[in-house]
Structure 1
Amino acid sequence: MLSILPIVVFAAAMIFAGIRDLTTMTIPNWLTLGLALTFFAVAPIVGMPLAEVGLHASAGFALLLIGMALFAMGWIGGGDAKFVAAASLWIGWGEALPYLLVASIFGGALTMLVLFYRNMPLPAFLFRVNWIARLHDRKEGVPYGLALAAAGLIVFPDTDVFRMVISLG
C-alpha cells in the first residue's frame, strides 16, 4: 500500500490545487513547494537515476521560466506559473508536450465556459457565495490551475515516475 503513496500524493495535490484555484483563484505556495520537494524525495525511493532526476528538474525549471514570462505578460497567474513548474518535475520532458497540450485544450474550454457563464444572469442568492460571485465577475481571471491540475491527472499515468512507482508494487 505504501508503494502507491507517491501516486496518491501527486493526485491529491492536483485535485486540491484545482479545487482551490476554482474557489479562491489562488494556489498556495506551500502546496506548490510541497509538490516540488516531494518529487525530490520520491525520485531516489523509486530508483530514478540521478541523470533522470536532473532532466526532470530541467523540465520544472524550464516551465518555471516560461510560466514567469507568461505571468509577466499578464496571461496567467503567479500561482499557475509555479504550479505548472512543480507538476512538470513529476511529469518530466517525456510527457511535457502532451501535458501542455491537454492543459491548453482544457484551459481553452474552461475559458469558454467561464465567458459563457459570465454572460448569464446570476441568481441573487448565488452572489452571496463568494467563489461563485468571483467566478462570475468579468474583472476576474480564469482559474487556469483547474486545467493544469486536470491535465496533470490525465498525463501522469504515462510518466516515468508513475511507471517506476507501479513497478515497485
Structure 2
Amino acid sequence: MLEALIFVVFPFCMVFAMVSDLLSMTIANRVSAILVVSFVIVSPFAGMDLFTISGHFAAAIVVLCVTFALFAAGVMGGGDAKLLASTALWMGPSVVLMEYLTYGAIFGGTITLAILMYRGSVVAAYSGHNIFLRNLADEKAGIPYGIALGAAGLYVYPSTSLVQTVLDRVVTG
C-alpha cells in the first residue's frame, strides 16, 4: 500500500497539474492539498522520524514564503506557488529540491520562449481554436508554468528519499 501511494500519488498530481494548467490556466487547490495530506500519511510509514518530517515542512514553508512574495508581486500565479511549496514538501531540504527548482526554471524558461514564439507565428492563428492550444495561442493569457513544474517534479522525483526508501524495501524484500 505504501509503495502504491508513493509511486502513484505524486506522479499523478504532477501530470494532473500539467494538464489542468494547459487546459484551464489554473492548478486546483486540491492538487496541493492531496500532496500535503498524502505526504503526512506516507512519511512516517516510510521510516521518516519527526526531525526529518519537520525538515521537509521547513523546506516547504521557505518555498511558500518566497513564492507567495512572487505571487504578491504579480510575477507568479497562485496555483504555481502552492504547487511549488507542496512539491518541496516531498523533496525536503535536499539537493533534490535544488535540482527541482533548477529544472523548473530551465523547463519554464524553455516553455515560455516556445510559447512566445508560437504566439507570434502564423500557426497560432490557425491552431489557436484547438482545446489544447487555445491558451497557448492567446496573447492575453499567461504562461502555464505548471507544465514546467510538473515536468521538473517528475524528472527529479525518482531521486527523492521517499522513492529511494521504497525502492530499497522492494529490492531487499
- Pair in the same fold by TM > 0.5: yes
Aligned residue type for 1:126? S
Distance 2:60 2:129 in 1: 39
Q: CA deviation at 1:5?
A: 2.9
Distance 2:131 2:74 in 1: 24
Distance 1:3 1:126 in 2: 41
Q: What is the match of residue 26 of structure 1? A: 26
Aligned 1:125-136 pairs, distance under 5 A: 126-136=127-137
- Does residue 1:91 correspond to 2:104, yes or no? no
Q: CA deviation at 1:125?
A: 6.0
Aligned 1:60-139 pairs, distance under 5 A: 60-94=60-94, 95-122=96-123, 126-139=127-140
Q: CA deviation at 1:45?
A: 1.1
Distance 2:136 2:124 in 1: 14
The normalised TM-score by structure 1 is 0.93
**Given that residues 56 and 90 in structure 2 are in contact (C-alpha distance below 8 angstroms), is that contact kept between their aligned partners in structure 1?**
yes
- Name stretches of at least 5 consecutive residues in structure 2 with no aligned partner: none
57-66 vs 125-134, greater mean Cα deviation: 125-134
**Given that residues 24 and 131 in structure 1 are in contact (C-alpha distance below 8 angstroms), is that contact kept between their aligned partners in structure 2?**
no
Aligned residue type for 1:155? V
Distance 2:48 2:124 in 1: 52
Distance 1:41 1:56 in 2: 14
Q: CA deviation at 1:122?
A: 4.0
Distance 2:59 2:130 in 1: 38
Aligned residue type for 1:106? F
Distance 2:98 2:62 in 1: 13
The normalised TM-score by structure 2 is 0.91
Q: What is the match of residue 144 of structure 1? A: 145
Identity score, percent: 40
- Name stretches of at least 5 consecutive residues in structure 1 with no aligned partner: none
Q: CA deviation at 1:90?
A: 0.4
Root mean square deviation, CA, Å? 1.6
**Given that residues 3 and 168 in structure 1 are in contact (C-alpha distance below 8 angstroms), is that contact kept between their aligned partners in structure 2?**
no
Q: What is the match of residue 8 of structure 1? A: 8
Distance 2:126 2:116 in 1: 20
Distance 2:2 2:124 in 1: 47
Distance 1:54 1:81 in 2: 20
Q: CA deviation at 1:146?
A: 0.7
Q: CA deviation at 1:67?
A: 0.8
103-112 vs 113-122, greater mean Cα deviation: 113-122
- Does residue 1:166 correspond to 2:167, yes or no? yes
